[in-house]
């Protein structure tokens, strides 16, 4: 018999995460017991992810839009969290499908790597669904620690070690900042539960909210670190450059989804009342990120650093949507969903061109890629044009959405900064395309990629173009995913 104090748990609502976690454990045990080949493990992990995604879709259809509190209100899979789950699982499958060669390279560490990928995905999904700051921290750490290890897992070369260590140290500081912020929020309101905080404000009026505001600021700073928004972005280029190419896209994508979901939930669900206080700060971070990201990317000579800085700029665009308030969060979701697909596709191409486990990738390696592999050049071009926000790609729709909501949210100045920053950014993406198509190749040998990689890349390209022309299905989907 279940004791009275033990809450009833809607396990079915957690089914995808349970599959991921138990799947990860199963992979590790299987590896110890049987030593199956890397290929078997890799296929298993894809199957686990596919099952989790199927359950996630089932939950999307079956569950009520408001979701059901789990673990006494620690977790809540409302529409936005359920969407975050689908995005995380989708890009994880996309990244893993293209990463077989990386795990083949890892050899007997492959099972660990795959298990960590599954755990990180589960961690960031839980982070996105957290209603409680402690739960959020647990999800954040579960995801982040997995990523710290993954950053250094290839273990060959100083660069990879440097990347992992840098990520670990700065990440730990950010986590500390976050948890300190949570403590101050608790001091200010007596609650760590975001709904509880809302109720607190319904009943009380804070005469001096200084402590609380500092707490909100620290939470924002900690999460800004995770999503690599300026000025908390300095780790990103080194980590993106040093970590194994096959995994960087995945790392960046899931950390961004989890981080923005958490940020949106904290700011829009917990502290919506304080929007006049935090909106200028978030808008300032957004503007700084867009400008700094675009400028630094323009002077980068390494494609990974370039994408890292462009990621900073994209964090700025997403924050622009966030700063515009609750309705704007639909544009945040659209942006995250389409940007992560482009990001993972771009890094998959990098891992094919430069080697899945390698560190660093100079732009000059991409000279004349068109001749060595027309397919990869096309995929990378579409991904970059998508990031540039050119019409007929999803990137344009995403940017338009963010701009529309920001303008409606009276952040006209931010929209002007954003359009100018995106015009600057066009140059940097164009630069890569020029190198690929208009310069003579470094070698004559064709660049080949395995079949699953081609499928993943082809699908990402198709999604970017088709949803760019006909975005209505995704637009309707994200409209339901605003924070209430």
Question: Which residues contact other proteins (rule: CB under 8 A)?
Answer: 385, 390-392, 396-397, 400-401, 403-404, 407-408, 412, 415-416, 419-420, 422-423, 426-427, 430-431, 434, 437-438, 471-472, 475-476, 479
* Nearest to 359, CA basis, from 351, 371, 367: 351
Compare residues 252 and 397 and give the one whose CB is closer to other proteins.
397
At 3, is the secondary structure helix, strand, or coil? coil
Q: How far is CA 154 from the centre of its chain?
A: 21
Give the whole-angstrom CA distance, residue 314 versus residue 109. Answer: 33
Q: Which residues pair with 69 in a beta bridge?
A: 76
Give the whole-angstrom CA distance, residue 105 versus residue 356. Answer: 8
Phi, psi of 311 (to 5 degrees): -65, -35
Compare residues 226 and 314 and give the one whose CB is closer to other proteins.
314
What is the nearest approach in angstroms of other proteins to the Cβ of residue 383? 15
What is the nearest approach in angstroms of other proteins to the Cβ of residue 421? 9
Compare residues 265 and 367 and give the one whose CB is closer to other proteins.
367
Compare residues 208 and 472 and give the one whose CB is closer to other proteins.
472
Instruction: Write the CB contacts of 10 (distance below 8 Å, at least 6 apart in sequence).
Output: 68, 70
What is the nearest approach in angstroms of other proteins to the Cβ of residue 349? 19
Residue 60: which H helix or E strand, with range? Answer: helix 38-62
Compare residues 179 and 397 and give the one whose CB is closer to other proteins.
397
DSSP 341-376: HHHHHHHHHHHHHH-TT----BGGGGTTHHHH-HHH
Q: Which residues pair with 70 in a beta bridge?
A: 75
Give the whole-angstrom CA distance, residue 33 versus residue 26. Answer: 10
Q: Which residues pair with 193 in a beta bridge?
A: 132
Compare residues 233 and 367 and give the one whose CB is closer to other proteins.
367
What is the nearest approach in angstroms of other proteins to the Cβ of residue 405? 9
Give the whole-angstrom CA distance, residue 474 versus residue 466. Answer: 11
Contact 220, 281 (CB under 8 A): yes
What is the nearest approach in angstroms of other proteins to the Cβ of residue 484? 18
Q: Which residues pair with 86 in a beta bridge?
A: none
What is the nearest approach in angstroms of other proteins to the Cβ of residue 195? 29
Contact 385, 307 (CB under 8 A): no
What is the nearest approach in angstroms of other proteins to the Cβ of residue 18? 34
Please identify which residue in the block is written with the tokens 């390494």.
302
Compare residues 125 and 417 and give the one whose CB is closer to other proteins.
417
What is the nearest approach in angstroms of other proteins to the Cβ of residue 331? 10
Give the whole-angstrom CA distance, residue 246 versus residue 345. Answer: 10
Give the whole-angstrom CA distance, residue 434 versus residue 483. Answer: 41
Give the whole-angstrom CA distance, residue 313 versus residue 77. Answer: 29
What is the nearest approach in angstroms of other proteins to the Cβ of residue 367? 12
Compare residues 169 and 420 and give the one whose CB is closer to other proteins.
420
Compare residues 403 and 483 and give the one whose CB is closer to other proteins.
403
Compare residues 122 and 382 and give the one whose CB is closer to other proteins.
382
What is the nearest approach in angstroms of other proteins to the Cβ of residue 436? 12
What is the nearest approach in angstroms of other proteins to the Cβ of residue 371? 11
Compare residues 243 and 414 and give the one whose CB is closer to other proteins.
414
* Nearest to 383, CA basis, from 426, 348, 342: 342
Cβ neighbourhood burial of 37 (10 Å; 0-12, 13-18, 19+): exposed
Residue 70: which H helix or E strand, with range? Answer: strand 69-70
* Nearest to 171, CA basis, from 187, 150, 153: 150
């Amino acid at each position: 018999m279940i004791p009275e104090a033990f809450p009833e748990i809607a396990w079915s609502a957690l089914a995808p995460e349970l599959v991921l976690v138990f799947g990860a454990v199963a992979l590790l045990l299987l590896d110890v017991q049987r030593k199956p080949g890397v290929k078997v493990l890799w296929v298993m992990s894809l199957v686990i992810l596919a099952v989790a995604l199927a359950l996630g879709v089932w939950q999307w259809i079956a569950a009520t839009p408001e979701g059901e509190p789990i673990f006494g209100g620690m977790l809540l899979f409302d529409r936005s969290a359920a969407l975050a789950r689908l995005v995380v699982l989708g890009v994880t499958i996309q990244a893993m499908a293209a990463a077989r060669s990386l795990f083949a390279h890892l050899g007997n560490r492959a099972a660990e790597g795959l298990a960590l990928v599954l755990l990180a995905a589960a961690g960031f999904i839980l982070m996105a669904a957290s209603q409680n700051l402690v739960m959020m921290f647990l999800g954040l750490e579960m995801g982040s620690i997995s990523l710290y290890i993954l950053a250094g897992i290839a273990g060959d070369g100083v660069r990879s070690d440097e990347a992992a260590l840098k990520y670990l140290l700065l990440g730990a500081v950010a986590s500390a900042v976050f948890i300190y912020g949570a403590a101050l929020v608790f001091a200010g309101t007596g609650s760590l539960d975001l709904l509880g905080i809302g109720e607190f404000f319904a009943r009380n009026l804070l005469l001096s909210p200084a402590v609380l505001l500092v707490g909100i600021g620290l939470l924002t700073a900690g999460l800004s670190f995770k999503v690599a928004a300026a000025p908390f972005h300095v780790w990103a280029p080194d980590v993106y450059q040093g970590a194994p190419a096959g995994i960087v896209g995945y790392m960046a994508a899931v950390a961004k989804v989890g981080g923005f979901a958490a940020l949106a939930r904290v700011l829009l669900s917990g502290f919506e009342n304080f929007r006049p206080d935090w909106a200028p700060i978030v808008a300032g971070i957004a503007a700084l990120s867009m400008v700094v990201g675009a400028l630094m990317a323009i002077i980068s000579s390494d494609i990974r650093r370039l994408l890292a800085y462009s990621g900073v700029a994209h964090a700025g665009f997403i924050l622009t949507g966030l700063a515009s308030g609750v309705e704007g969060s639909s544009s945040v979701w659209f942006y995250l969903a389409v940007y992560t697909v482009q990001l993972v596709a771009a890094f998959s191409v990098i891992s094919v061109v430069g080697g899945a486990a390698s560190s660093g990738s100079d732009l000059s390696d991409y000279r004349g890629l068109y001749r060595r592999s027309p397919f990869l050049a096309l995929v990378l071009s579409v991904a970059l044009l998508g990031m540039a926000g050119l019409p007929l790609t999803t990137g344009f729709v995403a940017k338009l959405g963010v701009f529309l909501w920001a303008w409606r949210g009276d952040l006209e100045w931010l929209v002007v900064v954003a359009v100018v920053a995106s015009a600057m950014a066009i140059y940097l993406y164009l630069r890569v395309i020029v190198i690929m198509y208009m310069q003579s190749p470094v070698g004559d040998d064709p660049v080949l990629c395995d079949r699953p990689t081609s499928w993943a890349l082809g699908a990402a390209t198709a999604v970017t173009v088709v949803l760019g022309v006909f975005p209505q299905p995704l637009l309707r989907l994200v409209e339901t995913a605003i924070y209430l």
